[in-house]
Amino acid sequence: MEGYTKTEEKIIEAATEIFLEKGKDGARMQEIAERAGINKALLHYYFRNKKNLHSEVFKKEVQNFFDGLFSAMSSEKDFEAVLQNFINSYIDKLAQRPEIIRFIIWEIQQGSGFFADLMEEIFKEHHFLKMPLAEKIEEAISVGRIRSLDPVQLTFSIIGMCVFPFIASPILEKVFRDTQIYSETFLKKRKEEIFNMVWNGISI
């Protein structure tokens, strides 16, 4: 981590774990302090209050997630490769940090607009106008690579298919006792399934 002192790093690290696990309201400053090996007073010395600390952690996590994702996208390639790559990257990223979904969903529906602003910022950093994948889809349509459809709708569909297994993993692993969501074989199969479904549905 750059730009942080040793103590700040320890705090951020501890706060990330606790906020991801318990959420903003469920998290306790006391617990964060303990896990960081310091005391509450020092938390406030560095981050002033809980809201602030949470924002810092949230911003870092979201940026980290999407930076990796979008930087893998920017290179110009054939749309089939772009699609394949997007699905693979998204699933791999989610498998690394599945807790981030709940984190983001909570913040989104809080209605603060904080996440939306953050995303806009990240889009700009990567020189996208709005949603990266939607732009690529538009391109592919205009050059006749795929059939004409609503790029936004397709983007929703692809992301939805990628995200859902991670949202539902605890139930799914219970209902289907032999399904291990985080296993290499499942992830590979999932990637193929999404790609096939989409490509069958949109290719000319």
Partner DNA sequence: GTCTATACATCGATAGAC
Partner DNA sequence: GTCTATCGATGTATAGAC
Q: Which residues bind a second copy (CB under 8 A)?
A: 22-26, 99, 101-102, 105-106, 108-109, 111, 113, 115-116, 119-120, 130-131, 149-150, 152-154, 156-157, 159-165, 167-168, 170-172, 174-176, 179, 189-190, 193-194, 196-198, 200-202
Q: Which of 100, 97, 69 is nearest to 85 (CA)?
A: 69
Which CB sits closer to a second copy, 36 or 62? 62
Residue 77 contact, options DNA, a second copy, none, Cβ 5-8 Å cut-off depending on partner type: none
Residue 114 contact, options DNA, a second copy, none, Cβ 5-8 Å cut-off depending on partner type: none
Minimum gap (Å) between residue 114 Cβ and DNA: 17
- What b/e sequence results for 46-84 when a residue is b if at least 16 CB atoms lie within 10 Å of its CB, and e otherwise? bbeebeebbbbbbeebbeebbeebbeebeeeeebeebbb
Residue 198 contact, options a second copy, DNA, none, Cβ 5-8 Å cut-off depending on partner type: a second copy
Q: What angle do CA 145, 149, 150 make, to 5 degrees?
A: 125
